[in-house]
């Protein structure tokens, strides 16, 4: 890596930063898909009652 030119190192840095930024996005996307599947399967419960919400936890 140290033998690379400054331009190549900067490009590598940019690629790594982009890759690191994409990791949380992929995790969030997977959780969204899971939630949508649960919603389609009617496995989600919704409530505005605080006591009922506490019981759901």
- pLDDT tens-place string over residues 32-52: 999 999 999 988 888 889 998
Spatial separation of the C-alpha atoms in residues 3 and 21, rounded to whole Å: 26
Overall average pLDDT of the 14-43 stretch: 91
Report which DSSP code applies to 46. Answer: -
Overall average pLDDT of the 20-32 stretch: 89
Query: In the chain, what percentage of residues exceed pLDDT 90?
Result: 54
Could you identify the residue written with the tokens 């890759």? 19
Overall average pLDDT of the 24-28 stretch: 89
**For residue 10, what are the CA distances in angstroms to 2, 22, 47?**
12, 18, 50
Give the pLDDT confidence score for residue 42 in this predicted structure. 87
> What is the residue-averaged pLDDT of the chain?
90
């Amino acid at each position: 890596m140290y033998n690379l030119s400054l331009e190549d190192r900067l490009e590598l840095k940019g690629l790594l930063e982009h890759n690191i930024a994409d990791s949380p996005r992929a995790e969030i996307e997977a959780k969204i898909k899971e939630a949508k599947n649960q919603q389609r399967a009617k496995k989600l419960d919704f409530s505005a009652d605080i006591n009922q919400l506490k019981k759901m936890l």
